[in-house]
Amino acid sequence: MARKVTPIIFRMADVDIERIVAELIDNSIEAGADEIGVRFFLTDESNDDVGMMVLDDGNGFDSTEDLFDSMEIQTKNLTKKSSELGKYHIGMKLAPLSRYENLYVISIINGKAWITRAFNADRTGLDFDMDDSRGLNPTKPIPYNPKDANIPSEIHSQLAGLKSDQGKGNFSDPKNCKWTTCVIAEKRWRDVLDDNFSAVQSMLDEKKFAKHLSQFLGLTYQNTLEKNPNLNIRVAENQIVKPYDPFLSNITPSKIQSGIDSLEDDLEKVKSTKEKEKIADKIEAAKALKKFGTLEGATYISPKFEGLKVTPYHIPVKDARSLLKKKLGQDWGGETKAFMESKVSNAGSNLLESKGICGFFFYRNDRLISFGQFYELNKIDNSANRIRIRVDFPGDLDEHIEVHPNKHKIDTKSTDLWNEVLQGLTLASGGLEYAIPFNQSVPFFNKTVLQKPPAKKGAQSINLWKKFEPDNSSHYPNILALEDSKYIKYVSCEKCKFIHEPNGVCPQSECQVCGNEVRLNQCLPGDCKHQCKHCGKIGEHPDSKCHLLCKICGIDHKGSVCPKLCSSCNSEPCECPCKVCGETKPCSGCCSKCLKKIDNCECEQSDSKFDSIPNKETLILWKKNKSKNIELIKNAMAKLGISVEELK
């Protein structure tokens, strides 16, 4: 630990704002805190300056000497307790000062609030020297006075508490203050957010940076929050940090099947029709999407490094993730949500972009400390972004795996340990419960195969998947090919609204043989399971096309004569001569209404009439009106310019 630090150290450190907060939270958790608050406040709008603070109700400090000694900065990788969350003793000091000029630490000790300050030596010109008798940087702890003019008014305002503290957040009233320690950083000297983002607009809006930060902390402390349900971390006033699972481990085929079994039990118990339909719909969706769930590899437990464990995952493709989230919910299989959140708009940080939440996830004592790198896996584009590899290691292995002080990557890793990590990726995973190409049990990774499978002839064919042959050396090259239309891409179905393998059959589609929905008989292409109810034959025809059906009425008469057949000629329609006029049916010599010969027709007749419009004459003539008919015909011929001679 260093009591005196050269100014350039403060400039060399460059810690993301999310990781600065996490460093401070590490200290709070190690102090046994049950409640932790993260807040942001305006310090200088004209300079786009937003300060930050982390409060907790942990054990705090035993004495003012301990409070002052906590300002020591570790400049070398000294050994920490293997059970501690953090990796370096820089969280409360160097991390905040890598972006802010001023640091304040307030702690309630023996019923009294004390405050000490530290400054970025490179920016302020105040050498960081804990042995300086003048106590300039850091300062010796003094009792906190809310009227101290040397402390900015915005700091005093924050230490007075917020509405959400319900009157118990005021450090001026230490006996009634629920907080024991508060760390504040203010007056930025380096951009706090990514380029082109306003700190004022993003960090002071709970729906922007605060929401983004709560997601980051949910990933970072997933295991801690799961093991300690009483731990409450709140960002700003309303963003409660919930655990997030970046591996979507609750939506593997086996976990989905467990959920289906549970829902089917529930279906038997509920009485409400509406609730039954809701559960049935969820079961149907789960069954349809199960095979597209997360590929979970076997967990490798290193025999060489105690506590080192490696588990590879491949999360579902985008269409499957969307459907799983919509139909099953992010908390399927447990309270922890699968991390399928979209990037928070205008959050001011790209740390949780989809292209960054991938690769190796390193957990030290259950705390996520680094993610987003692929190292030697030869990732060259976004095709491998669905790969997430969990690596757990205890603090005892710090000498073999060194995390960069800025926590954005692994700086160095011993050859022996890294070989063990890669060995962990060689265990077989996958099987028939998965969709193609994971329907084979092969190693997750083979270091000799780092490219997509070779393309087959007919690369421009729309049915190229028929030519695609998954690599059987490992899953990795198939992952690179998945969702590439030149290789294999799952198909969105308009019929059931789910997705299918390229050669899959929708359960709601009609069998080409029997015409029924596939799911009713479990028909497969070329293998119809339908049994005809008339002749009993299986897979040959639908019931409506059975040879036993009557060609006249479409009914199976079970060997009897169709009642529609003529008893004389045994035909339908009847072919016997007309009994009235003697002509062959259908006859023209009978009136269809009175069934008498035309000459003897007794049907009522009306007056003959005509309808005349330019260039058109319409006549309706009845037989009884012969003279009138002749007159109408002559008039019509005259108007149409037709002579009698022309009719001869």
Q: Which one has a higher pLDDT value, 637 or 29?
A: 29
Q: In a 3-state reduction of DSSP, which class is residue 212?
A: helix
Q: Is the pLDDT of residue 470 over 60?
A: yes
Percent of the chain whose predicted confidence (pLDDT) is above 90: 52
253 in the same domain as 220: no
Same domain, 274 and 141: no
**Same domain, yes or no, for 296 and 185?**
no
Contact present, 73 and 94 (Cβ < 8 Å): yes
What integer best gives the mean pLDDT of the chain? 87
Cis peptide before 437 (omega within 30 of 0): yes
- 133 and 274 co-located in one domain: no
Half-sphere exposure of 457 toward its Cβ, with a 13 Å CA cutoff? 0
What is the pLDDT, as a whole number, of residue 327? 92
The answer to whether residue 109 is domain-embedded is: yes
The total number of residues shown for the chain amounts to 648
Point out which residues pair with 553 in neighbouring strands.
none
User: Does 522 reside within a domain?
Assistant: no
Q: Are residues 198 and 267 in the same domain?
A: no
Per residue in 515-525, pLDDT tens?
776 655 666 65
- What CATH number is attached to the domain comprising 45? 3.30.565
d(CA 348, CA 199): 7
Task: Kindly report which listed range (204-213, 274-283, 456-465, 549-558) carries the lowest average pLDDT score.
Answer: 456-465
ω into 573 cis (within 30 of 0): yes
| One domain for residues 252 and 203 | no
Closest CA to 260 of 293, 280, 283: 283
Q: Tell me how far apart the alpha carbons of residues 117 and 150 are, in angstroms, rounded to a whole number.
A: 11
Residues 144 and 114: beta-carbon distance below 8 Å: yes
Judge whether 187 lies within some domain: yes
Do 81 and 15 lie in one domain? The reply is yes
pLDDT digits over 315-354, tens only?
999 999 999 999 998 888 888 888 888 889 999 999 998 8
224 and 302 share one domain = no
CA 117/CA 139 separation, integer angstroms? 5
**Residue where one domain finishes, among candidates 190, 217, 240:** 240
Split into its structural domains, the chain has a count of 3
Give pLDDT, residue 525: 59
* Tokens matching residue 131: 């042995």
Given 480, 498, 520, the domain boundary residue is 480
pLDDT digits (tens, 9 = 90+) for 407-450: 667 888 999 999 999 999 999 999 999 999 999 999 999 988 87
Cβ-contact 368, 220 below 8 angstroms: yes
pTM of the model: 0.78
Rg (CA), the chain: 41
Give residue 460's pLDDT: 46
- My answer on whether 196 and 300 are in the same domain is no
Question: Does the pLDDT of residue 462 top 60, yes or no?
Answer: no
pLDDT band at 174 (very low <50, low <70, confident <90, very high): very high
Tokens of 428: 């077989």
Asked if residue 495 is part of any domain, the answer here is: no
Domain boundary residue, one of 480, 499, 524:
480
- The model's confidence at residue 243, banded by pLDDT at 50, 70 and 90, is very high
- What the block records as the tokens of 138 is 């850091």
In-domain check, residue 453: yes
Bridge partners of 235, per DSSP, are 38, 239
CA-wise closest residue to 118 among 37, 264, 2, 26? 2
Asked if 277 and 150 sit in the same domain, the reply is no
pLDDT of 297: 96
Shared domain for 388 and 428, answered yes or no, is yes
pLDDT at residue 496 is higher than 60: yes
- Residue 464 falls within a domain, yes or no? yes
pLDDT at 455: 64
What is the span of the domain harbouring residue 421?
Answer: 247-338+354-480
Q: Same domain for 156 and 252?
A: no
- The share of the chain scoring above pLDDT 70, in percent, equals 92
Q: Is residue 515 part of a domain?
A: no
Q: Could you tell me if residue 16 is inside a domain?
A: yes
Pair 94, 10: CB distance under 8 Å: yes
